[in-house]
Amino acid sequence: MLLTAAELALFTSATCAQPHGLLGMHAAKSGRTSGLVVRAFLRDAVACDLVEPGEAAGADTLHPMERVADSGLFEVFLPRRKTHFPYQLRATRTNGELRQFHDPYRFLPTLGDQDLYLFNEGNEHRIYEKLGAHPRVIEGVSGVAFAVWAPGAARVSVVGNFNAWDGRYHPMRPLGASGVWELFIPGLGEGELYKFELRTPAGNILIKTDPYGTAFEAPPGNASIVCDPRKHVWGDAAWLERRAYEADHKDRPISVYEVHLGSWKRRLDDGHRPLTYRELAPALAGYCVELGFTHIEIMPVAEHPFDGSWGYQVTGFFAPTHRFGRPEDFAWFVDHLHQRGIGVILDWVPAHFPRDGFALAEFDGTHLYEHADPRQGAHMDWGTLIFNYGRHEVRGFLIANALAWLDRYHLDGLRVDAVASMLYLDYSRKEGEWIPNKHGGRENLEAIAFLRETNRLVKHYHPGVLMIAEESTAFAGISRPVAEGGIGFDFKWNMGWMHDTLKFFQKEPVHRKWHLNDFTFGALYQWSENFVSVFSHDEVVHGKGSMLMKMPALEIRDRAAHLRSLYGHMWAWPGKKLLFMGSEFGQSREWAYAGQLDWHLLKYLDHEGIRLLVRDLNRIYREEPVLGCNDLDSRTFRWINCNDGDITAISYLRHDHAQKTFIATVGHYTPLKRENYRVGVPRKGWWRELINTDSHYYGGSGAGNGGGVHTDDIPSDGFEQSLRLVLPPLSTTLFKWTESEA
């Protein structure tokens, strides 16, 4: 045996940190004789031969190997041989089975110095194609290349069914000082379950899933699965071409239907299970086309172990969840929606990650992805951990994650969750529970730099993809371009508008006249950012009540009238639109992730009428450029009357730059019908009624203005002409100017 006892102990004790220095083929000496030595560490083998290929078929030479340890170490010395050659191993197992295979330890590394340099620098934007597990063909041999970043580990092995989850048999090699460990295992392929077994310097053993894994099994196993996420053949080239063209046309109709895939609809005839990706796609596409939404936004589908987190506590950042199918099924889902004309936006969660021991937390026994100090690394609200955005490899991991979703799955946007918690070091913390930045301030400079770089690179690699921030503070420049000193998002959720508008509409009508400032205050900052007006899932959970039940009335009919008037205002008001599923038909109960929406309510006009109104609002929003293409310019908005508290009426104008098209919105938010109410308008002629939320068609009282009104030459509200209107109860009405009724 040429191997020393100390070297042998490295394998039997699973402490070998440099396996390629001992296993495989190496130059060696036995006494005074030079030659080659080949070693293999095999599980469940009683004998092994080295197979040297011959020049002709069937002319292979077998070199019996000596079993030098009962644990499975074999060795053979080939005297007077100098030239390395490709070889295979032929092992006889304890059950008599004979298996011939390529030795993992005869292959060169699958990552080069440039790959590692850029990774450590945080600038390898496609690192998701290099770290993780990837089917490869190397020297004509099929297998899987594994690579993982674990600089604090003393030893890392690939474990799986192929080696009985025994970390002794496939130890990985460290690649210099990069912190990356690598191993190519021939013969493995898609569908193989695996994890990484890490040994810390203190001798502790950690079993971890792959941070770059592309598929995972269900809990409690949570194993990573070797998977090629690019098997789907895409058919959305025309969609992607149009999307790239729209990169320079940000101010266009964008109306988003927010969906939780697991609870939109379920198969009641099949154990009440959620629909699969392939079942969801045609159903969702058809529904969104019918209602006129331009996009869906799906709550996080990155792999997560706990259903009750709704996907916001991610353990598999690069993998669509197993709950609804495989990665190729998710790709089919996106492709189908694209071909039906619907964009797909994904909730992306780079603000935090859970403490599950099998995932990122203390990945290699050190605080690798998170800050060690809980004043920086512990998220106070959710009991999770905060990424260390200042560490190059962590920043690169997250940027690559964003790019991977867009690259592999053709997504049309990322809605970035909890941006406010990333921007501020003292977010949700008391005095003494946070550490100021290097300037003594509360801004998280590393997180800000990360967000800017992510937004910049998304624009560089994927023009036309939308980046949307869920940001609840007044941090300046969220949707300003990076080149102009901003954070670089395209849009920001308008949380202030949502809060103030709901505050107004939740008031009893008799009190609303005292709270018109809640209705109008948003106009003061409406154009400080590129806003999306939102009523998201956050507004219909945790005891807040559904959108319908927030409305101040006893009868469902009256609540529905309030909600219709709210939606009429939402679609008429500047800003892109987002509405959470179920809210479009006024679901009565709060959203529950474990069931499905109450679709049976659509047989009642109180609910179906709300849905029909949303459909018509989306149609008008898309068809009328003054609504859909002028959301981001303050010059196309004008108040008519914003302080008529006596009867609680609000009116405002939307128009184009040339002031050739005008749409007037008149809201009346008491349960009384008002006759002869005068509203000033800038043009003489016929003002056609586009929408009346109190129409019989939507379940309302039917009060209105007979389809339109001619102006009178009576000055009002600063205009020379005016309209004499009937104000329906609890209503929002939209009128469009034309020169004549014809």
Whether 144 and 24 map to the same domain: the answer is no
Q: Report which DSSP code applies to 716.
A: B
pLDDT at 293 over 70: yes
pLDDT in tens, 441-464: 999 999 999 999 999 999 999 999
Whether 70 and 150 map to the same domain: the answer is no
Q: Which residue, among 81, 78, 106, 147, has the nearest Cα to 22 in the 3D structure? A: 106
Q: Give pLDDT, residue 216.
A: 98
Q: Which residue, among 188, 105, 199, 107, has the nearest Cα to 157 in the 3D structure? A: 199
- Cis-peptide, bond into residue 19, ω within 30° of zero: no
Q: Give pLDDT, residue 729.
A: 97
Q: Which residue, among 232, 226, 222, has the nearest Cα to 191 in the 3D structure? A: 226
Please give the angle made by the CA atoms of 722, 723 and 727, to the nearest 5 degrees.
140
Whether 67 and 118 map to the same domain: the answer is no
Distance between CA atoms of 479 and 497, rounded to whole angstroms? 16
Domain that holds residue 118: 113-225
Distance between CA atoms of 346 and 685, rounded to whole angstroms? 45
Q: Facing residues of 659 across strands? A: none
Mean pLDDT within 663-673:
97
Q: Which residue, among 538, 466, 458, 551, has the nearest Cα to 504 in the 3D structure? A: 551
Distance between CA atoms of 576 and 502, rounded to whole angstroms? 17
Angle of helix 392-409 relative to helix 445-461, nearest 10 degrees, comes to 30
Whether 426 and 382 map to the same domain: the answer is yes
Q: How far is CA 587 from CA 219, 284, 324, 544, 549, in A?
A: 32, 18, 24, 13, 8
Whether 144 and 81 map to the same domain: the answer is no
pLDDT in tens, 529-548: 999 999 999 999 999 999 99
Mean pLDDT within 262-282:
96
Q: Give pLDDT, residue 55.
A: 75
Whether 445 and 330 map to the same domain: the answer is yes
Q: Are strands 721-727 and 674-681 parallel, antiparallel or unpaired?
A: antiparallel
Instruction: Assign residue 188 a region (left: φ > 0; alpha: ψ between -120 and 50; beta: otherwise).
Output: beta
Within a domain: 269: no
Q: How far is CA 456 from CA 317, 413, 426, 466, 693, in A?
A: 21, 14, 26, 12, 42
Q: Are strands 316-320 and 302-303 parallel, antiparallel or unpaired?
A: antiparallel
CATH number where 51 lies = 2.60.40.10
The domain tally of the chain equals 4
Whether 43 and 84 map to the same domain: the answer is yes
Q: Which residues are catalytic?
A: 417, 470
Q: Report which DSSP code applies to 323.
A: G
Q: How confident is the model at residue 4 (pLDDT cuts 50, 70, 90)?
A: confident
Residue with tokens 């990706």: 277
pLDDT at 688 over 90: yes
pLDDT at 742 over 60: no
Q: Give pLDDT, residue 57.
A: 67
- Domain-ending residue, one of 196, 225, 254: 225
| Buried-exposed string 141-161: b where 16+ CB fall within 10 A, e elsewhere | bebbbbbbbbbebbbbbbbbe
How many Å from the N-terminal Cα to the C-terminal Cα in the chain? 101
- Domain-ending residue, one of 597, 622, 647: 622
pLDDT in tens, 152-199: 999 999 999 999 999 999 999 999 999 999 999 999 999 999 999 999
Q: Give pLDDT, residue 217.
A: 97
Whether 502 and 420 map to the same domain: the answer is yes
Whether 462 and 560 map to the same domain: the answer is yes
Give the percent of the chain with pLDDT over 70.
99
* Residue 177 neighbours by CB distance under 10 Å: 9
What is the chain's mean pLDDT, rounded?
Answer: 95
* pTM for this prediction: 0.95
Within a domain: 665: yes
Distance between CA atoms of 435 and 388, rounded to whole angstroms? 14
pLDDT in tens, 212-245: 999 999 999 999 999 999 999 999 999 999 999 9
